[in-house]
Amino acid sequence: MALMNYILAFVAGFFVKWVDWIEDDRKGEGTIKFPLAIFYGGIIGYLISVASFSEIFLGALLAQVFARKIDNISHVIGFLTSLLALFYFGFPAVQLNYLLYFMLLAFLDEQDFIGRFRFLTEYRLFLKIGAVLMLFIGRWDYAIAILLFDLGYVVFTEIRKRFIK
């Protein structure tokens, strides 16, 4: 079961990036973004409900709200679907300190840095570094989950560059 959760983290990243691309690069054209958003929202809600790394996904989801990054209809649908899935699959017992830690890091990732700190905006390093630091307390699951989510993001980008015009 745990392996499936990591695979789903990758798939969620892939579909989130696909919707981002439709919204940002294609100016929101096309209705495929709606089922894609429902799909990734369901996965994220499921992962928050059942995965050992639920705090990182819940923290990132909440950070999106506080940073006001849920700013188009498809991501609103993805967010609402995540909530519906969370209600359906059940709320997890979360460690509040981990949740707040990841929420703060994800919020920092959503900020627009300028000048020599622009790379922080480009690469969104806070959440990834924070997850890797959790290795020091024996929690490797956070790092693997967020790195796989980001890998899904990167894989979609590479596929798009090579095959989608």
Distance CA 126, CA 21 (A): 22
Under 8 Å between Cβ of 47 and 133? no
Task: Give the pLDDT confidence score for residue 165 in this predicted structure.
Answer: 66
Task: Give the pLDDT confidence score for residue 158 in this predicted structure.
Answer: 95
Task: Give the pLDDT confidence score for residue 156 in this predicted structure.
Answer: 97
Task: Give the pLDDT confidence score for residue 8 in this predicted structure.
Answer: 99
Report, as ranges of residue numbers, the positions in the chain whose pLDDT lies below 50.
Answer: none
| Number of domains the chain contains | 1
Q: Burial-class residue 64 by CB neighbours within 10 Å (0-12, 13-18, 19+).
A: buried
State which residues form the domain around 153. 2-163
Whole-model pTM?
A: 0.94
Distance CA 66, CA 64 (A): 6
> What is the per-residue pLDDT across 40-51, written as a single tens digit (0 to 9) for each?
999 999 999 999
85: left (phi over 0), alpha (psi -120 to 50) or beta: alpha
Task: Give the pLDDT confidence score for residue 124 in this predicted structure.
Answer: 85
Selection from 139, 19, 142, 3 nearest residue 78 by Cα: 19
pLDDT more than 90, % of the chain: 84
